Structure 1
């Protein structure tokens, strides 16, 4: 199923949490981009050696968190406002920490620079999503 068809299906479904379909799509795309960038950064970090172990672990955790958040948004009938806020809050915390870690050595590795930018975008979209949610 392509993204547009998925979003049309989701926007016509009744959801227990009032969420803007377009903002939800933007948030999921930002989560997906952060997951991919963090995964690539983690692999690059591991190749650079033990000095980058913290960054590699942070990126791996961010990738998993972003992927889980995105998958949770894809199942809107199984969520409530409290659980969705908790997931988005966790994505913001992890994305903020990962962006800061990657930014600290973005001059060493281009994948760190891309990861920091993708995490910043995910954080912004998650914060916008939380601000727009109503029960």
Structure 2
């Protein structure tokens, strides 16, 4: 078992009723998307793909912020968590669509698009298990 899984299981249940172990996949997908998008943005800058780089930076920011919020169950507010996950889904879909346009010529864009789609799927799954706001 990973350190992250152990840590998630050790966290107390959030006031709002969220089970941290249920959030683990979403936390990991947000982290992977943030890393892939950050590296894609860096590579895009050298290739003159400003729009793609900017979208990747925004995706990394939203994913990282959402992930950090999920790791603090004592402060969960379901309305805010729902809004952040919705933002992750929207930004992940937009970034994946942009990166897909370059995927045939840029391996980093192909990888980033896949990571963004995985984050979108994980956020949707986590949201379906969340108590109502």
TM-score w.r.t. the length of structure 1 is: 0.92
Match of 2:108 in 1: 111
Which residue of 72, 75, 79 maps to 1:78?
75
Deviation at 1:17, TM superposition (A): 2.4
CA distance, structure 2, for counterparts of residue 30 and residue 37 of structure 1: 10
Deviation at 1:76, TM superposition (A): 1.1
Match of 1:8 in 2: 9
TM-score w.r.t. the length of structure 2 is: 0.93
CA distance, structure 2, for counterparts of residue 54 and residue 121 of structure 1: 22
Within the alignment, does 1:24 sit opposite 2:27 as a pair? no
Deviation at 1:16, TM superposition (A): 2.0
CA RMSD of aligned residues (A): 1.4
SS at match of 2:32: helix
CA distance, structure 1, for counterparts of residue 58 and residue 122 of structure 2: 19
On the 8 A contact 1:30/1:121 being kept in 2, the answer is yes
Match of 1:61 in 2: 58
Deviation at 1:108, TM superposition (A): 1.4
Match of 1:37 in 2: 36
On the 8 A contact 1:31/1:122 being kept in 2, the answer is yes
Using CA pairs under 8 Å that are at least 6 residues apart, name the structure with larger relative contact order, 1 or 2: 1
Deviation at 1:24, TM superposition (A): 0.3
Which consecutive aligned stretches of 4+ in structure 1 deviate over 4 angstroms post-superposition? Answer: none
Moved more, 20-29 or 94-103: 20-29
Match of 1:134 in 2: 131
On the 8 A contact 1:17/1:133 being kept in 2, the answer is no
Instruction: Give unpaired runs (5+ residues) of structure 2.
Output: none
